[in-house]
Structure 1
Amino acid sequence: MKIRPALIIALGVLLSGAGAGREIKPAPYTLVAPAEWSQPVAPFHIAGPVWYVGTRGIAVYAILSKDSAILVGGPMTSEARLIERNLATIGVKKGGLKLLLNMHAHFDHAGALAQIKRDTGARLIASAGDRPALEAGRHQGDNSYGRANFPAVKVDRVVRDGEIVRLGAIAVTTTLTPGHTIGCTTWSLPVHESGRTLQVVFPCSVTVAGNRLIGNRGYPGIVAAYRRSFARLDAMHADIVLPSHPEIADVMGREARRAAGDANAFVDPGALHAIVVQARKDFDAALAKEGTPSPHP
């Protein structure tokens, strides 16, 4: 089935022309995942206890604490074992993964959580807003691409805004930034790197990504939620920004520059603001387009 040119999923990735990827078939449309969403990359260190363990197109991060670890985000269903192998590569032994932090309940980021949880015994932590979607295995709210289902997974702990999740010496702060999903969650923590303390932020997406903004029966407060989240993210300090799709903050490019000798490649205090500015612009354009009356036939 041909994908409509306007179809956008996840973080606003345009799927038309992505035919080299694998097909995912939720009704009523066929979604084609870009090939890089499944393409393996070697895990790499970012800063302090934070490592990249995702694919080339879907970011997953590990935060290490002695013999245990926290996973931030997740990949599509088929990449669960790939993430587990990457964790083993950086020294996380079987049973060492203790916590799974959900960023948002879409198939490309929550699809593998059920299997990773079964395989490792890790506990899943998520917001109250995303809990129903995670436990039903489908996103909430009206959108342009239908139901993108994924394996349902039980949430073990529900976190509130501002709550701190701890594992050993690691303390990760919860910031609720809904809009992209009802329970979209941003996570952040300070890390120590080369004698400096740096603030790392894992921002939940604020792209429209096919969400219906006007008349969304499943998420009637979506417009106000986006606007609050733009403001919240823009007010956050972030030395290092690590989004759920690496291209949003040029994570792969930064790693290449760091490997070439730039020790500060990941440090960019202006990156989060730039992401919010672009997201606001795209949101306003999408809202204006939805609000434009259709021409009479």
Structure 2
Amino acid sequence: MQRLPLTAPSVRLRLPPPPSGGGSLGSRVRSWVGVLAIATSAPLLLGAADPPAWTRPQAPFPIAGPITYVGSEGIAAYLIKTNAGAILIDGTLAENAGMIERNIAAAGVRPQDVKFILVTHAHFDHAAGVAALKRATGARVAAGARDVRALETGTPPGETSYGVIRFPPVHVDRSVGDHEKVTLGNVTLTARATPGHTPGCTTWTMRIPAQPRPLDVVFPCSVSVAGNRLIGNRAYPGIVADYRRSIAMLGMLHADIVLPSHPELADVIAKGKRRQAGDTTAFVDPTLLPKIVAKAKIAFDADLAKQAR
């Protein structure tokens, strides 16, 4: 999750969207009551707004091979077509679930043909829409083993400077570890454990047949600190070592195409416009992942030093 850190721990309450097909004021009030029941005595942070781009609709566009962008303008979701159905990576915000379902259909895939939803990590901006999309598609959910509890309780792991932002819980059908594979039809994705941002943060990789050579695609899980407590994190005492290992591992991965959960990190939307204009190599940049990782390492070291003072 990308977020400016706040000064005091809090529970940030987000009014749940009405159920699909509408929803009365009474149902929304009852949703609020449910959220308040789990917030109890925690101090509240009201009025904090997500970036508008996070919920701004974005028309789907092809990326490369079987991959299509189906997320919002500000948070990514990727659809991968196979000869046995489709795979979705991430569900973004709960408010975006209907838009993503429509984008999937616009990309030529019936929602019921989505067979897997792969989760990069258990934060609300990437996982809150997964429960609704699982209901809409009947897909199986796969996620990093160390994020399963967070996903199934709707409570993000670890301690942060901005408090707790809960999301709709979702049953995880398959927990994955480092190097485990998810195969559907003619497509295989490999999970790479990249903990730190969350304990189960998972980078997904795949290879696209292409000429003159196959292309390696990496969907990196975030290695940004983004408000994570690095010093004295009682809920996640190994967070610093995990970050360091994950940054080092990502720095050794080869990626011809980088598709992050926050599209601005790789100019995904701008590249999509170039791709639609006929530039079939718009997304190919083998130098991009090392640049992203180098910046992340500098930012991590600076944040760790600041928190240690």
Question: What's the TM-score once normalised by structure 1's chain length?
Answer: 0.89
Which residue in 2 is equivalent to 1:180? 197
Q: Which amino acid aligns with 2:170?
A: V
Which residue in 2 is equivalent to 1:289? 306
- 1:67 Cα deviation from its structure 2 partner: 5.3
Task: Quote the Cα distance in structure 2 between the aligned partners of 1:288 and 1:260.
Answer: 45
- 1:193 Cα deviation from its structure 2 partner: 3.6
Q: Which amino acid aligns with 2:115?
A: K
Q: Do residues 60 (structure 1) and 51 (structure 2) align?
A: no
Match of 1:29 among 42, 45, 53: 45
Which residue in 2 is equivalent to 1:136? 153
- Unaligned runs of 5+ residues in structure 2 are 7-12, 16-38
Q: Do residues 270 (structure 1) and 287 (structure 2) align?
A: yes
Task: Quote the Cα distance in structure 1 between the aligned partners of 2:44 and 2:178.
Answer: 35
Q: After superposition, give the CA deviation of every residue in 1:138-193 in whole Å (9 maximum; x if it has no partner).
A: 10111011110000001001112101100001000010000000100000000124
Which residue in 1 is equivalent to 2:128? 111
- 1:35 Cα deviation from its structure 2 partner: 0.6
Match of 1:148 among 141, 165, 173: 165
Task: Quote the Cα distance in structure 1 between the aligned partners of 2:62 and 2:172.
Answer: 28
Task: Quote the Cα distance in structure 1 between the aligned partners of 2:104 and 2:139.
Answer: 13
Q: SS state of the match for residue 146, structure 2?
A: coil
Match of 2:110 among 82, 93, 105: 93
Task: Quote the Cα distance in structure 1 between the aligned partners of 2:223 and 2:44.
Answer: 25
- Could you tell me whether the CA contact under 8 Å between 2:5 and 2:226 is conserved in 1? no
Task: Quote the Cα distance in structure 1 between the aligned partners of 2:147 and 2:171.
Answer: 11
Distance 1:14 1:290, change over 3 A: closer
Q: After superposition, give the CA deviation of every residue in 1:12-57 in whole Å (9 maximum; x if it has no partner).
A: x4489xxxxxx83786324311110001111011111111000000
- Could you tell me whether the CA contact under 8 Å between 2:63 and 2:275 is conserved in 1? no
Q: SS state of the match for residue 196, structure 1?
A: coil
Indicate the structure with greater helix content: 2
Which residue in 2 is equivalent to 1:190? 207
How many residues are matched?
Answer: 276
Task: Quote the Cα distance in structure 2 between the aligned partners of 1:259 and 1:211.
Answer: 37
Task: Quote the Cα distance in structure 1 between the aligned partners of 2:170 and 2:278.
Answer: 41
Distance 1:261 1:88, change over 3 A: closer
- Unaligned runs of 5+ residues in structure 1 are 1-9, 17-22, 293-297
- 1:197 Cα deviation from its structure 2 partner: 0.9
- Could you tell me whether the CA contact under 8 Å between 1:24 and 1:33 is conserved in 2? no
Which deviates more, 85-94 or 200-209?
85-94
Task: Quote the Cα distance in structure 2 between the aligned partners of 1:125 and 1:60.
Answer: 15
Task: Quote the Cα distance in structure 1 between the aligned partners of 2:99 and 2:84.
Answer: 20
Task: Quote the Cα distance in structure 2 between the aligned partners of 1:157 and 1:113.
Answer: 14
Match of 1:255 among 248, 263, 272: 272
- Could you tell me whether the CA contact under 8 Å between 1:74 and 1:112 is conserved in 2? yes
- Could you tell me whether the CA contact under 8 Å between 2:84 and 2:186 is conserved in 1? no
Task: Quote the Cα distance in structure 2 between the aligned partners of 1:15 and 1:284.
Answer: 16
Q: After superposition, give the CA deviation of every residue in 1:65-110 in whole Å (9 maximum; x if it has no partner).
A: 1351000112101111110000001111141010000100000100
